[in-house]
Chains A and B, each alone.
Chain A
Amino acid sequence: MKPFFNNKTNRSGLILIAAMMLFNVWNVIMNTPMVPEQHWAQKIFYIHVPSAWVGFLSYFVVMVAGILFFMKKDDYWDLVGLAAAEIGTVFMSLVLITGPIWATPIWGKPWIWEPRLTTTLILFLIYIGYFMMRTFGGHIERVKRYAAAVGIIAFVDVPIIFVSVKFWTPEIQSHPQVEMAQQPSEILIPFLLSLSIFTLLYVLMLKYRIHVIRINSRVRANV
């Protein structure tokens, strides 16, 4: 097994995504409108929401990998699930850090116990439990089955987070109830571009993490 970036496709992918990300930041700074009430703070939205999207996408991959692990009894899917859970939790941490940074000037306080924030925090805590179970769960084969089951069950929270702004009464909501399709094109297009670039970044990160975990398991098998 060779270093991941010795492969020309992976190396080109990294360079391309880095260039696209730089363009994305330049585009957000230079070409998106300044919203009067929020000024620069509104531009946080162009990376906060794509980070959340990547987190949820990653947890979707964990769920699919869990189902495939049970169906095919193949350790590869356990490995995919682990890699996706790790990356999903990195991005979910970013969401839980950048959200309060945005909220501080806009709401006047960093955290409100409203539905979307609370359900997002619950999802994050479920995955903290997932990693604790992975580490301290006992027999390796049993841990793999438990991890697949937790990954499938945990995903139930993702649609709840999505519908939370409509599911609970408006009086207890603080989250912006934004209809993206109704946004002007100068906001919508840079947002969709950022979402696409973050998705490409996620694919590369997932491939890389799977590669590293595979090396780790093979080295352990050789020892």
Chain B
Amino acid sequence: MYNFFGYFMAVYLIVFGTILGWFIIQLRIENRLLNKNKNSNEGVNLDGT
């Protein structure tokens, strides 16, 4: 007999864990890129100002 609830939980954890992980990765990339621009010698803002 299969543990149906275990399969259900596994799928929900994988899907929502992946989505949450995706947002965390994007936040980290965004922060890193914005900091890189801020610390660059040129001092040119990304919006051209």
Q: Do A and B interact with each other, yes or no? A: yes
Given the contacts A41-B4, A98-B11, A101-B11, A3 and B31 also touching, CB distance less than 8 Å:
yes
Binds B, one of A131-139, A142-150, A156-164, A204-212: A204-212
Distance of A208 Cα from B27 Cα, bound (Å): 9
**Tally of A-B Cβ pairs under 8 angstroms:** 83
The answer on a CB contact under 8 Å between A41 and B36 is no
Closest beta carbon of chain B to A207's beta carbon, Å: 11
The answer on a CB contact under 8 Å between B40 and A40 is no
B interface majority secondary structure = helix
Option from A38, A205, A222 in Cβ contact (under 8 Å) with B37: A222
The answer on a CB contact under 8 Å between B11 and A102 is yes
Closest beta carbon of chain B to A101's beta carbon, Å: 5
Mark contacts of A81-114 with chain B using CB atoms, 8 A cut-off: 1 yes-contact digit, 0 otherwise: 0000000001001100110011011000000000
Distance of A104 Cα from B14 Cα, bound (Å): 16
Option from A39, A205, A219 in Cβ contact (under 8 Å) with B46: A219
Closest beta carbon of chain B to A3's beta carbon, Å: 6
The answer on a CB contact under 8 Å between B4 and A40 is yes
The answer on a CB contact under 8 Å between B40 and A223 is yes
A interface majority secondary structure = helix
Q: Which residue of A lies closest to B40 (CB)?
A: A222
Q: Does A122 contact B (CB under 8 A)?
A: no
Given the contacts A212-B26, A216-B33, A1 and B47 also touching, CB distance less than 8 Å:
yes
The answer on a CB contact under 8 Å between A39 and B11 is no
Contacts of A39 in B (CB 8 A): 4-5
Q: Closest 3 A-B residue pairs measured CB to CB? A: A105-B2, A1-B46, A40-B8
